[in-house]
Amino acid sequence: MGGAVVVCLVLLALLAPVIAPWDPNRPDIKKILDAPSNAHPLGTDQLGRDVLSRMLYGARVSLAVGFVSVGIASLIGVVLGSLAGYNGGLVDGATMRLVDLMLVFPRFFLLLAVLAFLRPSIWTIMAVIGLTGWMGVARLVRAEFLALKEREFVIWSQAVGASGFRIVWRHILPNAMAPVLVAMTLGIPAAILTESGLSFLGLGVQPPHATWGNILNEGKDAIEIGWWLSLYPGLAILVTVLSYNLLGEGIRDALDPRLRQNAARFVSRAR
C-alpha cells in the first residue's frame, strides 16, 4: 500500500508541468482566497494563485529535497561507517566520537543555526539536511561491518590475499546494505518534514517557489477564511510521511530473514 502511494506521488511530481491546470506563480487579484471550486479544485491563495498547481509543483521540491538530502547523508554514512567498522581501532574510535558529537546537538536547532548564516535555497536546504543526517546510517553500517568482517567468506578473502578495498566493496558492503536501504526509505519522510518545518518558519525554500511548507506558512495568516491553505498541504505531508514509513517497514520485513522466520513460527503456532 505504501509503495503504491509513493509511486503515485512521484508520478504526480514528475508530471506536474503537464497536469497542473494553472501556472503556479500566476497571480489573479480577482480570485484572491477563492474557496475550492470547479475552476480551482483546491481553492486559491492570498495572491489568487491556484493551490492545486502549487501543491503539484511543491511535491517536486519536497520529494527532491527528500531524495537528494538522504542520498548525501547515506553516502557520508556508508563511507564513514565502512571505515570505522572495517579498520576498527583509532579510526573506529575517532569516527564514533564524531558521531557522538553530532548527536549532542538537536538537529533542527543546528539546522536553524547554520541557515542563519547561509542564504536559504533548495540546494542549501538539501546540503544542510544531508550533512546533518548521516549519523544513523554510519552507526548501522559500522555495526554490520563489525559482524560481517568475522564471517568465513571475509576471512577466506583475506587469506587468499584480496585487498581491503576489494573485500569491502565486493564482499562486505553488498551484504550490509539491507538496513541502509530501510534507513534511507525512512529518512526521506524525515527530510520532507524537516524541509516543511523550515519552510513554515520562512527559512526553507523561498517564494515564489512552492513547497508544502511555505504554502502552510502562507495559510496560517488566513486560516479563518482560507482553511484550504492549511488543510491540503498538511494532508499531503501526512500521507507522504505515512506512505514512506509503511514502505520502509515493508522493505525491512522483506529483507530481514529473522522477521520472516518469526512470522512463520507465529503462523505455524496459530494453526
Confidence class for position 270, pLDDT limits 50, 70, 90:
very low
The rounded distance, in Å, linking the Cα atoms of 126 and 61 is 10
Note the pLDDT of residue 25: 87
Confidence of residue 72 (pLDDT cuts 50, 70, 90): very high
Nearest to 124 by CA among 76, 69, 73: 69
Higher pLDDT, 158 or 28: 28
Q: Which residues are within 8 A (CB) of 9 and not within 5 positions of it... i.e. 6 or more apart?
A: 59, 63, 239, 240, 243
Q: Which residue has the higher pLDDT, 196 or 208?
A: 196
Q: What is the pTM of this model?
A: 0.83
Percent of the chain with pLDDT over 70: 94
Q: Is 32 helix (H, G, I), strand (E, B) or coil?
A: coil
pLDDT digits (tens, 9 = 90+) for 2-21: 788 888 888 988 898 899 88
**pLDDT given at position 68:** 92
pLDDT tens-place string over residues 165-183? 788 888 888 888 888 888 8
CB atoms within 10 A of CB 256: 14
Does the structure show a pLDDT above 60 at 263? no
Asked if the peptide bond before residue 17 counts as cis, ω within 30 degrees of 0, the response is no
**Predicted confidence (pLDDT) at residue 261 exceeds the cutoff of 60:** no
Q: How confident is the model at residue 78 (pLDDT cuts 50, 70, 90)?
A: very high
Residue that the C-alpha cell 505531508 belongs to: 237
Residue 271 identity (one-letter amino acid): R
Q: In this predicted model, which residue has the larger pLDDT, 191 or 264?
A: 191
Q: Which amino acid is at 223?
A: I
Task: Please report the domains of the chain, with CATH numbers, ordered by start residue.
Answer: 43-258 (1.10.3720.10)
Average pLDDT in the chain? 84
**Nearest-angstrom CA–CA distance, 165 and 253:** 30
Q: With 80 as the cut, is the pLDDT of residue 255 above it?
A: no
Indicate if the alpha-carbon torsion angle 76, 78, 81, 87 is positive or negative: negative
**Cβ-count burial 85-123 (b if 16+ within 10 Å, e if not):** bbeeeeebeebbeebeebeeeeeeeebeeebeeeebebe
Euclidean distance between CA atoms 238 and 108, whole angstroms: 19
- Cα–Cα distance for residue pair 5/186, rounded to 1 Å: 15
Residue 262 has pLDDT above 50, yes or no: no
- Lowest mean per-residue pLDDT among 98-107, 197-206, 227-236: 197-206
User: Within a 10 A sphere around the Cβ of 138, how many other Cβ atoms?
Assistant: 26
Residue 198: the pLDDT is 85
